[in-house]
Structure 1
Amino acid sequence: MTDFFKGLSQVKFEGPQSRNPLAYRHYNKDEIVAGKTMEEHIRPAVAYWHTFAQEGGDPFGGRSFDRPWFDKGMDGARLKADVAFEFFELLDVPFFCFHDADIAPEGETLAESNKNVRAIGEIFARKMEQSRTKLLWGTANLFSNRRYMAGAATNPDPEVFAYAAGQVKNVLELTHELGGENYVLWGGREGYETLLNTKFGQEQDQMARFLTLVIEHAKKIGFTGQILLEPKPQEPSKHQYDYDVATVYGFLQRYGLEQDVKCNIEVGHAFLARHSFEHELAVASTLGMLGSVDANRNDLQSGWDTDHFPNNAGEMALAFYYILKQGGLGKGGFNFDAKVRRQSLDAADLLHGHVGGLDTLARGLKGAAALIEDGEFDRLLDERYAGWDNGLGKDILAGKLSLSDIAEKVHAEGINPQPKSGRQEYLENLVNHFV
Structure 2
Amino acid sequence: MSTDFFKDISPITFAGADSADPMAFHHYNPDEMLGGKRMEEHLRFAVAYWHSFAWEGGDPFGGQTLERPWHPQDTMANAKLKADAAFEMFRILGAPYFCFHDADVRPEGSNYAENTSRLDEMTDYFGTKMEETGTKLLWGTANTFSHRRYMSGGSTNPDPDVFAFMAATVKSCMDATQKLGGENYVLWGGREGYETLLNTDMGQELDHMGRFLNMVVDYKHKIGFKGAILVEPKPQEPSKHQYDYDAATCFGFLQKYGLEKEVKLNLEQGHAILAGHSFEHEIATAAALGVFGSIDMNRNDYQSGWDTDQFPNNVPEVALAYYHILKAGGFDTGGTNFDAKLRRQSLDAVDLIASHVGAMDVCARGLKAAHAMLEDGGLETALAERYAGWETPEARAMLGSDLGSITDRVLAQDINPQPRSGRQEILENYVNRFV
Q: Match of 1:423? A: 423
Give the CA deviation at 1:342: 0.7
CA displacement 1:46-85 (0-9 Å, x = unmatched): 0000000111111100100001111151111010000000
Give the CA deviation at 1:209: 1.1
Distance 1:421 1:201 in 2: 45
CA displacement 1:137-181 (0-9 Å, x = unmatched): 000000000000000000001100000011111110010010000
Give the CA deviation at 1:393: 2.0
Distance 1:363 1:296 in 2: 15
Amino acid in the other structure paired with 1:36: K
Q: Match of 1:113? A: 115
Amino acid in the other structure paired with 2:144: L
CA displacement 1:294-323 (0-9 Å, x = unmatched): 000000000000000011111111111111
Q: Match of 1:189? A: 191
Distance 1:41 1:288 in 2: 19
Q: Match of 1:311? A: 313
Amino acid in the other structure paired with 2:35: A
Distance 2:398 2:253 in 1: 30
Give the CA deviation at 1:391: 3.7
Distance 1:396 1:342 in 2: 59
Q: Match of 2:28? A: 27
Give the CA deviation at 1:395: 1.4
Q: Match of 1:75? A: 77
Give the CA deviation at 1:218: 1.1
Q: Match of 2:58? A: 57
Gaps of 5+ in 1: none
User: How many residues align structurally?
Assistant: 433
1:254-293 matched pairs, under 5 angstroms: 254-293=256-295
CA displacement 1:378-403 (0-9 Å, x = unmatched): 00000000001114321122x0x221
**Equivalent of residue 161 in structure 2, options 154, 159, 162:** 159
Give the CA deviation at 1:219: 0.8
Q: Match of 1:375? A: 377
1:231-380 matched pairs, under 5 angstroms: 231-380=233-382
Amino acid in the other structure paired with 1:291: G
Distance 2:3 2:227 in 1: 33
Amino acid in the other structure paired with 1:28: N
Distance 1:405 1:123 in 2: 69
1:77-92 matched pairs, under 5 angstroms: 77-92=79-94
Amino acid in the other structure paired with 1:422: G
Amino acid in the other structure paired with 2:422: G
Distance 1:365 1:433 in 2: 14
Distance 2:404 2:211 in 1: 45
SS in 2 for 1:45: strand
SS in 2 for 1:56: coil
Amino acid in the other structure paired with 2:52: T
Distance 2:398 2:327 in 1: 26
Distance 1:101 1:376 in 2: 47
Amino acid in the other structure paired with 1:417: P
Q: Match of 2:41? A: 40
Distance 2:248 2:379 in 1: 26
Distance 1:255 1:161 in 2: 18
SS in 1 for 2:341: coil
Q: Match of 1:413? A: 413
CA displacement 1:198-222 (0-9 Å, x = unmatched): 0000000100111111111111111
Q: Match of 2:17? A: 16
Q: Match of 1:103? A: 105
SS in 2 for 1:257: coil
Distance 1:52 1:432 in 2: 37
Amino acid in the other structure paired with 1:403: L
Distance 1:108 1:233 in 2: 32
Q: Match of 1:6? A: 7
Q: Match of 1:94? A: 96
Distance 2:430 2:328 in 1: 21
1:214-225 matched pairs, under 5 angstroms: 214-225=216-227
Amino acid in the other structure paired with 2:14: F
Gaps of 5+ in 2: none
Q: Match of 1:134? A: 136
Distance 1:176 1:209 in 2: 22
SS in 1 for 2:226: coil
Distance 1:121 1:371 in 2: 42
Q: Match of 1:149? A: 151
Distance 2:35 2:346 in 1: 36
SS in 2 for 1:151: coil
Q: Match of 1:172? A: 174
SS in 2 for 1:291: strand
Q: Percent identity?
A: 62
Q: CA RMSD in A?
A: 0.8
- TM normalised by structure 1 equals 0.99
Amino acid in the other structure paired with 1:301: Q
Amino acid in the other structure paired with 1:212: N
- TM normalised by structure 2 equals 0.99
Task: Write out the 4+ residue segments of structure 1 that deviate beyond 3 Å after TM superposition.
Answer: none
Distance 1:195 1:273 in 2: 20
Distance 1:57 1:156 in 2: 30
